[in-house]
Amino acid sequence: MNLPLDHLLVLISSWLLVPDLLLLLGFALFATANLGGIVAEAISRSKHRPGFARLVQNVRQKGATLDPDTDIRFGLPRLAFAELQRSTYAPTKILDDIQLTADRLVARLHLGIRLGPMLGLAGTLIPLGPSLKALAAGDTKALADGLVVAFATPVVGMLIGGLCFFMHSVRQRWYTQDINDLEFLFTHLRKESAGEKEIALCENSAA
Q: Is the pTM of this model over 0.75?
A: yes
Q: How far apart are CA 185 and CA 70, in angstroms?
A: 12
Q: What is the mean pLDDT of the chain?
A: 83
Q: Which of 151, 122, 157, 111 is nearest to 15 (CA)?
A: 122
Q: How far apart are CA 138 and CA 130, in angstroms?
A: 12
Q: How far apart are CA 24 and CA 156, in angstroms?
A: 8
Instruction: Examine the pLDDT at 53 and tell me if it is beyond 60.
Output: yes
Q: What would the pLDDT profile of 129-187 be if each residue is shown by its tens digit?
A: 888 888 888 888 888 888 898 999 999 999 999 999 999 999 999 999 999 999 888 88
